[in-house]
Structure 1
Amino acid sequence: MNPSTSPPPSPKPAYPAPAEAFTLSTPVRLWEDGFGADPHHYYEALRAQGPLGWAELAPGVPAYVVTDRQAALDLLHDDATWSHDPRPWETTVAEDAPILGMMRWRPNTLFSDGEAHVRYRRAFVDAFDLVEPHDLRERVHRAVDLLVGRFGPAGEADLVSGFARPLMSLVFNDLFGLPDSESGRLEAGLGKMMEGGAQAAEGEAEFGAYVLDLIAAKSERRGPDITSWLLDHPVELTAEEVTWQVFLTLGAGHEPTANLVSNVLSRVIGNPDFYSTLTSGSRPITDAVTEVLRYETPLSNYGIHYARESVSFHGVWVQAAVPVVISYGALGHFGEREFGAAHHPSDASHLSWSAGEHACPVKHHTLLIATEAVERLTQWLPDLEPVVPRDALAWRPGPFHRSLTALPVRFTPRTPDQSGERP
């Protein structure tokens, strides 16, 4: 099956009427450009409706949004009431809906329940367990060194388009078994798909073609890579199932991790006192990463569930076949406002990794990639300075992510082969 397609849609009935609790509420439009620029204003509007707010993920595509921590935990730990299978909802949505690339059903661990989920997750976890931390660290260092070699001599760079995004393309392309020359295809397709705008379908198709080429190459010739390990796993995934595991894993790994790195760098570089403690070694990079995961998480609205049947939940009548989105961004925003000073910088009690049976199974790999990337870059270029104040930076549109469009910096020109201290 081509990853850019889905099973033939069933005849589309009228979209279910909004829950009675929201009949007088105007949906908060998370697809607007303003959401990227000022998400907190939108989170305030959602929070004003109660533990669950009423929103639109795209024009005419409504969803419930959970903005209360206890409600989120109750939902994430209740697999009997909630399902990850979006197929009943898909029959209610136009096939050209821009958010389908992020939400349509596929046979993988994210969109499955019960035994199917356990089987897919086992293969997923086992494959990543074969990636040794020292090997992953070396892959990240190699990619950082390659990128610094490209932009270091110029004394200026965009740390989004020139560093964070191509870095993840190089690292994940390598982990899954394709040469560096293919990394640009991965980056371009995923970027379009995540934004959920006019180019979403095109991005989904491009990313799908990349995955199919990868599976074909590994089916013909195995290697020491995650794709080959999935193909050979004892649970005996079919080629189609491996395709969808890879489709999910690359998407879930590349974009959020790239955004995590750029969000960390924007906070660090924009705060000289914070930056000096990190570059001097008196404070670990993990503090900055944890701060971003808590207060500015890169995957700000996701963890999508569907009530198996209409149910009353935290005072709201939730209809079946309507998406219920966990707003990790809203949870972090209100946590920062209410508890900010009370949390230790290394306190990792945030929900950016989700919780329950579908909690992120490879968070340690993600943390290693992000921390090593930031640390290696700041070792090469210890005098990074922002060109634009942090409050003037622009953010990409889209209901799901918190993602900078650019992070321009300047620094003392540096080439990896020049004399002086090296990482």
Structure 2
Amino acid sequence: MTSPSSTVPSARPGRVALYEPEFAADPHAAYARMRATYGSLVPVDLSPGVPATLVIGYFQARRILNDPLYFPHDPRVWQEQVPASCPVRPMMEWRPNALRSGGTAHARYRSANTAAIDAVDQHELRARVEKLAEDAIGDFITAGSADLLTQYAWPIAFRVLSSLLGCPDEIGARIADGMSRIFEATDAQRGNEILGQAVADLVALRRRHPADDITSRLVTHPAQLTDEEMGHQLVTLYGAGIEPLTNLIANTQLKILTDEEFSAGLHAGQSTVRDALDTVLYTDPPMANYCITYPPYPADIDGVLLPAHQPVLISMAACNNDPAIARSPGGIAGNRAHLAWSIGPHNCPARSHAYLIAETAVTCLLDALPEMDLAVPAAELRWRPGPFHRALESLPIVFNASH
């Protein structure tokens, strides 16, 4: 097999490193080089010494995501060979939840989560996001500048999720700390410990004092989840809710700030905030590479043999921009065929809630600050390294202060 171009971040011979800052800085150029060198299935390293296959072909991804028999999501055999200190393991290891299970276990966890999420009142949710957005904007409106990531997108995502889950601030702060360490993949093992204790405390609280929230509905669901299972459902909800939602809000606002034609159409009413969200979900989805499966036997995809028990990741970012789709009749413009929410039995059960939260947050910001600008040239913005997410380090803006 031909080794990758020397401009692709270095890894072991013949593998592409997804954990280097160079990959985070310009992943789309890296995807193009991968496609030219390997086609749709790319040998990568997720962390030093952690090999995987990255799927960058749209049709190959659909085949894998719709085939849970040959591409199950259970990583237990794989993780036997991976130390607990491995920085990407907490994002990939087995947990008793829908994301890492199949068959009847998946159906049990999925039904409990879906019932708990579906009971959220969307009108109340929109009002809650509007209030959180108003509070966040009020904190910086007189300053004339702000970091939209840390002062707007993250507080909204964190506070709205904690509210939906019935999580007090003190426990929520520990959960946020643990999740941040896991996503950064720098102190992930400690992050896992902090997160585990915090969600255990939340479960104990809601068993004692049930309320009208997702955690309480999970506690009382007929699936009769154990404390351990409850904790892992909450880890999954926080993992899927805070970081990806924060980055969806921030990446969408960045698109509006840097794409003059799109921004003009938005302000003229020719396009909508929902269009902006879908554009970002195609081009820079907040979870760029994920939807991990672990084939129990060597799997042949288009003549490439994928090793048994080695992770297979779907690159939502690369698959959405696969030239094979662009050449298809009708293309992908103007529809929502992107893979950002995944597809198949493991697709995101909270898609409508995430859309509503992000759309409301961006709309409130545009209404309050219609003439904001980036505080630095776009080329100076930095992206956080990591094999899974597409995440800015900061999003500084300037605007005319309101006194």
Q: Structure 2 length normalisation: TM-score?
A: 0.92
User: Deviations along 1:210-269, whole A, 9 cap, x unmatched?
Assistant: 212211211111111100000001221122211111111111111111111100001101
Question: Which of 235, 241, 250 does residue 247 from structure 1 map onto?
Answer: 235
Number of equivalent positions: 395
Distance 1:174 1:335, change over 3 A: farther
In terms of mean alpha carbon deviation, does 45-54 or 135-144 score higher? 45-54
SS at match of 1:57: strand
**1:274 shift after superposition:** 2.4
Once the 2 structures are TM-superposed, how far is the Cα of residue 283 of structure 1 from its aligned partner?
2.1
Is the 2:45–2:51 Cα contact (8 Å) retained in structure 1? yes
The 10-residue stretch of structure 1 (251-260 or 307-316) with the greater mean CA deviation from structure 2 = 307-316
What corresponds to 2:66 in structure 1?
77
Q: 1:331 to 1:148 in 2, by over 3 A?
A: same
Tell me how far apart the structure 2 counterparts of residues 185 and 151 of structure 1 sit (CA, whole Å): 25
Tell me if structure 1 keeps the 8 A contact 2:287–2:340. Answer: yes
Q: Residue 352 in 1 paired to residue 340 in 2?
A: yes
Q: Which residue of 2 aligns with 1:387?
A: 375
* C-alpha separation in 2, matches of 1:206 and 1:43: 35
> Which of 385, 395, 401 is the equivalent residue of 1:397?
385
Moved more, 269-278 or 252-261: 269-278
Change (3 A) 1:267 1:152: same
Task: Choose the corresponding residue for 1:407, options 384, 395, 402.
Answer: 395
Question: Identity of paired residues, percent?
Answer: 37
The 1:225–1:256 alpha-carbon spacing in structure 2 relative to 1, beyond 3 Å, is same
1:115-264 to 2 correspondence within 5 Å? 115-180=104-169, 182-196=171-185, 198-264=186-252
The secondary structure found in structure 1 opposite 2:207 is helix
Deviation for aligned residue 1:320? 1.0
CA distance in 2 between counterparts of 1:287 and 1:111 reads 32
1:277 aligned partner: 265
- CA-CA distance at 1:334 after TM superposition: 3.3
Question: 1:307 is paired with a residue of what secondary structure?
Answer: coil
Name the structure 1 match of 2:283: 295
The 1-side partners of 2:350 and 2:233 are apart by 14
CA distance in 2, matches of 1:97, 1:22: 26
Pair 1:378–1:185, CA change in 2 (3 A):
farther
Alpha-carbon spacing, 1:319–1:21, altered in 2? closer, same or farther (3 Å): farther
The alpha-carbon deviation at position 25 of structure 1 amounts to 5.7
Q: 2: CA distance between counterparts of 1:245 and 1:183? A: 15
Write the deviation string for residues 339-375 of structure 1: whole angstroms up to 9, x where unpaired: 6996575411111111111111111111111101100
Amino acid at match of 1:389: P
Aligned to 1:112: 101
* C-alpha RMSD of the superposition: 2.3
Matched, 1:330 2:318: yes
In the TM superposition, residue 162 of structure 1 has moved relative to its aligned partner by 1.1
**Structure 2 counterpart of 1:152, one-letter code:** I
Which segment is superposed worse, 263-272 or 184-193?
184-193
CA contact (8 A) 1:157 1:409 kept: yes
Moved more, 344-353 or 297-306: 344-353
In structure 2, what is the Cα distance between the partners aligned to 1:181 and 1:305?
35
Shift of 1:330: 1.3
AA aligned opposite 2:156: L
Q: 1:334 to 1:35 in 2, by over 3 A?
A: same
Structure 2: gaps of 5 or more residues: 5-11
Q: 1:127 to 1:195 in 2, by over 3 A?
A: same
2:142, 2:401 within 8 Å by CA — same for their partners in 1? Answer: yes
